[in-house]
Structure 1
Amino acid sequence: MNAQRTVVGRMVDRVKSEPVATQGLVQATLAALLGFGVISWTSEQTGLTLALTAAILTFLTRSQVRPAGKGVEDKAAAEPPARVDNAA
């Protein structure tokens, strides 16, 4: 039982640390399984599953990042571009 918990715990940690890669893996795996006929879902079921995985992992991704603050954008806009001297 402890070994199962360790495997599941590692999987959860991986999803939390790389949610975008996880989304790509889940959706690519689903597409491959459908393409090779391993599972036979309707197009509605496939679309719903892809949308649901995208939505869940998007919220997970958003919870782990923070937007650049207003000060970062203002500072970049306020600084003049660096001067390049081509006279050399």
Structure 2
Amino acid sequence: MKITTTLAVAVGLAALAGCNQAPKEQVADNIEANADMAADNMVENADAMADNMQANAENAADATKAAGDNAADAVRNGAATTNAQ
């Protein structure tokens, strides 16, 4: 029984020692955590911007292709175009 009590007290003291950090260490840990979070947010924002740029480029490419197809169809169907020579 004494061994169990001694172990329980030792575990409790170890837990308290871990929680009782110096104020400077807590501030340093907070600074580190905030910097890590900011860096993660930057990466996520860059990924989102890249995805949006790719989607916009694909939409613009699709619109350009559709306009070219429509102009070519108009020429094939005998419609007058402003670019005809």
TM over 0.5: no
Could you say which structure has the higher helix fraction? 2
Q: TM-score, normalised by structure 2?
A: 0.30
Q: Larger C-alpha radius of gyration, 1 or 2? A: 2
